[in-house]
Chain A
Amino acid sequence: MRTLDWIVLLSSLISIVAYGLYRSRGSSTVDRYLLAGRTMPWYAMGLSIMATQASAITFISTTGQSYTDGMRFVQAYFGLPIAMVVVCATVVPAFHHARVFTAYEYLEKRFDSKTRTLASLIFLAQRGLSAGLTIYAPAIVLSVLLGWPERVTTTLMGATVISYTVMGGIKAVTWSDVQQMGVILLGLVVALITVFVLLPHSVSIGDAVYLAGAAGRLNAVTTNFAWNDQFNLWSGLFGSTFLFLSYFGCDQSQVQRYLTGKSVSESRIGLLFNAVAKIPMQFFVLFIGAMVFVFYLFNSPPLLFQRVELERIQASPDYAAIEQDYQRGVEHRRQAALNLARAHREGAADRSADPTLVTEYRAAEREVDTARTKAAALVPRMGGEEGFRDTNYIFLSFVIRYLPPGLVGLVIAVVFAATMSASSGEINSLATVTVIDLYRRYVRPKASDHHQVIAARWATLFWGVYAVAFAGWGKRLGSLIVAVNVVGSLFYGSLLGCFVIAFALKKVRGTATFIGMIAGEAAIFWAFLHGGISYLWFNVIGCAVVVGVALLVTAVWPERTDQPAGA
């Protein structure tokens, strides 16, 4: 990174923190500290929700995902608008009218304290695990690409997040999210324009899109169905609807965003804004990855983008042959791409030439892909990571190598912004659940407002330090980082089942729901351990088992009418 990059990076970070703190003045009561006094406008909520969802690793991975696998990942968001409509129609008014701080507080009003506590603990376990990984995952990428020590990166990001989250509470989190979202969008637009500018003069934007499509990188909708296929139209419409219902209906890191709304309408519009904007945004990010793929058709890409692992496999006796095959494949592909682009431009004159050229182009692409697969397989054989994939390194490696000074700093600022927005939301929600659902419920039920604010600040500091410490320990977790999304899905299904019962099945009461949740968790873990099912389906399975078992228990063993506290 050059001086200009540092100036852009540091000024972006400082302005984000300063703006967040400026907008958070007066967060002196627990209602203001944790829920911004329920005064937030819809656009701040909507942008904050989007920013919290977009962690750095999602952003880095998504571009790499479309480079290697095409744009079909966008289908994982098809369930989002459906889930948003359901959440707006049911959950949002219920939570607002119940005047709760957390989603789990509502469960005690509806069921009993043990169901609330179990749900809170499931949330703390799941979100606590991902809080550390949210900071660690981009740190490892920056460490490999820029040579920055992981501990320095995690500490810098962690300290920044902790400072404004502890001081300003949810208001600082939300307003800094708004600015972070601005940095992210600016960075994305600039990155796409730069990719287009860097294409060879003989290749137009139309040619580039055509070449990406011919290589199968613009497969935004795929209708083939398989249980173990993560991204297709069906898993997107059904599996991801359940995932987003869980995320927005039961995960405090999202619920807390829309509880800050000054009215039910503001919260609903904030969520519906997310429903409308998210798919185009993901499409845009994936499209950048597809265009980076086209860029590398004409600029020889490294055999592996992760340079540490590339250096490692160079010691293997098989490396030279793989590298030779790869370079040959890259040259074939470049020539085939140029021929195809030319034919595409002159397409009207000689359309019949295309099929042969497309076949040639795809064969060359397979050559390149085969060499890369062989190189990736060498990594564990040479003592590297098992199941190695370098998807996360593709986009940033391109940025660092090809973007002009200033823009590199801007894209690194995007990575920092995305990390901080996701992390601050997590830390803030973990602190809220700790204080409201555990501390205030069991330790100090009569604590003063001031005492609760102090407790919330300490809890925020605790979870922030925990996240940084956990991130420092992250290296030892190895491939668990890859599985962070899967880990989330291990817990969401049973939480969703619990809330489905709370809103839709009035006859089912606390004990039956509690037993259903335990059975739901057991079913999800059974499905996970036996493999063969995409993680998006875990939410469906967990939810169905919780509801089914709770209904069965209610039928066999009807409970007397409970009178839960606070009902």
Chain B
Amino acid sequence: MPAPREPIDDPPPFLGTWRRVYGAVLLYLAALIGLLAVFTHAYR
């Protein structure tokens, strides 16, 4: 039986490091909440 493959821990395909990718996701969340707040306010 072949030995199990070791999991590969590559860098992300964009933004260089995972830390930056996570930061981008959290910024996206903040922007999304901001947009939804503006949407709520605009149609209140």
Partners in one complex: yes
Distance A221 CA – B38 CA, assembled complex (angstroms): 9
Cβ contact of B13, chosen from A269, A275, A283, cutoff 8 A: A269
Inter-chain contact A265/B25, CB cutoff 8 Å = no
Contact with B along A1-41 (1 / 0, CB 8 A): 00000000000000000000000000000010000001000
Inter-chain contact B10/A82, CB cutoff 8 Å = no
Distance A491 CA – B26 CA, assembled complex (angstroms): 28
Query: Which of chain B's residues have a CB closer than 8 A to the CB of A279?
Result: 29, 32
Inter-chain contact A74/B36, CB cutoff 8 Å = yes
Cβ contact of A213, chosen from B7, B9, B36, B44, cutoff 8 A: B44
Interface residues of A in 196-212 (CB under 8 A from B): 209-210, 212
Inter-chain contact B12/A265, CB cutoff 8 Å = yes
Distance A220 CA – B41 CA, assembled complex (angstroms): 9
Query: How far in angstroms is the closest Cβ of chain A from B20?
Result: 12
Q: Which of chain A's residues has its CB closest to B12's CB?
A: A265
Inter-chain contact A272/B21, CB cutoff 8 Å = yes
Given contacts A88-B18, A210-B43, contact A268 B12 (CB under 8 A): yes
Chain B interface residue count, Cβ-Cβ cutoff 8 angstroms? 25
Given contacts A88-B18, A218-B39, A218-B40, contact A82 B26 (CB under 8 A): yes
Cβ contact of A220, chosen from B5, B18, B26, B36, cutoff 8 A: B36
Q: Which of chain A's residues has its CB closest to B5's CB?
A: A38
Inter-chain contact A85/B22, CB cutoff 8 Å = yes
Distance A99 CA – B11 CA, assembled complex (angstroms): 20
Distance A218 CA – B36 CA, assembled complex (angstroms): 9
- Give the interface segment out of A89-97, A401-409, A498-506: A89-97
Inter-chain contact B7/A84, CB cutoff 8 Å = no
Query: Which of chain A's residues have a CB closer than 8 A to the CB of B25?
Result: 81, 84-85, 272, 275-276
Cβ contact of B22, chosen from A89, A212, A218, cutoff 8 A: A89
Contact with A along B1-18 (1 / 0, CB 8 A): 000110111111100001
SS class of chain B's interface: helix, strand, loop or mixed? helix
Q: Which of chain A's residues has its CB closest to B10's CB?
A: A265
Inter-chain contact B22/A264, CB cutoff 8 Å = no
Inter-chain contact B28/A81, CB cutoff 8 Å = yes
Inter-chain contact B43/A221, CB cutoff 8 Å = no
Query: Which of chain B's residues have a CB closer than 8 A to the CB of A175?
Result: none
Distance A85 CA – B4 CA, assembled complex (angstroms): 28
Query: How far in angstroms is the closest Cβ of chain A from B10?
Result: 4
Chain A interface residue number, banded: 35 or more
A263 CB within 8 Å of chain B: yes
A78 CB within 8 Å of chain B: yes
Query: Which of chain A's residues have a CB closer than 8 A to the CB of B10?
Result: 263-265
Distance A280 CA – B32 CA, assembled complex (angstroms): 9
A194 CB within 8 Å of chain B: no
Query: How far in angstroms is the closest Cβ of chain A from B22?
Result: 4
Query: How far in angstroms is the closest Cβ of chain A from B42?
Result: 8
Query: How far in angstroms is the closest Cβ of chain A from B13?
Result: 7
Distance A85 CA – B18 CA, assembled complex (angstroms): 10
Contact with B along A246-281 (1 / 0, CB 8 A): 000000000000000011110011001001100110
Inter-chain contact A283/B36, CB cutoff 8 Å = yes
Given contacts A89-B18, A263-B9, A265-B10, contact A82 B39 (CB under 8 A): no
Inter-chain contact A209/B43, CB cutoff 8 Å = yes
Query: How far in angstroms is the closest Cβ of chain B from A420?
Result: 30
Distance A124 CA – B2 CA, assembled complex (angstroms): 33
Distance A99 CA – B4 CA, assembled complex (angstroms): 9
Distance A219 CA – B11 CA, assembled complex (angstroms): 39
Query: How far in angstroms is the closest Cβ of chain B from A305?
Result: 25
**Sample of 22 A–B contacts (CB below 8 Å):** A38-B7, A81-B29, A82-B26, A88-B18, A88-B22, A209-B43, A214-B43, A218-B40, A218-B44, A219-B40, A219-B44, A220-B36, A220-B39, A221-B36, A263-B7, A264-B7, A264-B8, A264-B10, A265-B12, A275-B25, A279-B29, A283-B36
- By a beta-carbon cutoff of 8 Å, the part of chain B in contact with chain A is 4-5, 7-13, 18, 21-22, 25-26, 28-29, 32-33, 36-37, 39-40, 42-44
- By a beta-carbon cutoff of 8 Å, the part of chain A in contact with chain B is 31, 38, 74, 78, 81-82, 84-85, 88-89, 93, 96-97, 99, 209-210, 212-214, 216, 218-222, 233, 262-265, 268-269, 272, 275-276, 279-280, 283
9 tightest A-B CB contacts, nearest first: A213-B43, A263-B8, A96-B7, A220-B36, A265-B10, A81-B29, A221-B37, A218-B43, A85-B22
| Given A93-B7, A218-B44, A265-B9; 19 other pairs, CB 8 A cutoff | A38-B7, A81-B28, A84-B25, A96-B7, A99-B4, A213-B43, A219-B44, A220-B39, A220-B40, A221-B39, A222-B40, A263-B10, A264-B9, A265-B10, A265-B13, A268-B12, A268-B18, A268-B21, A272-B25
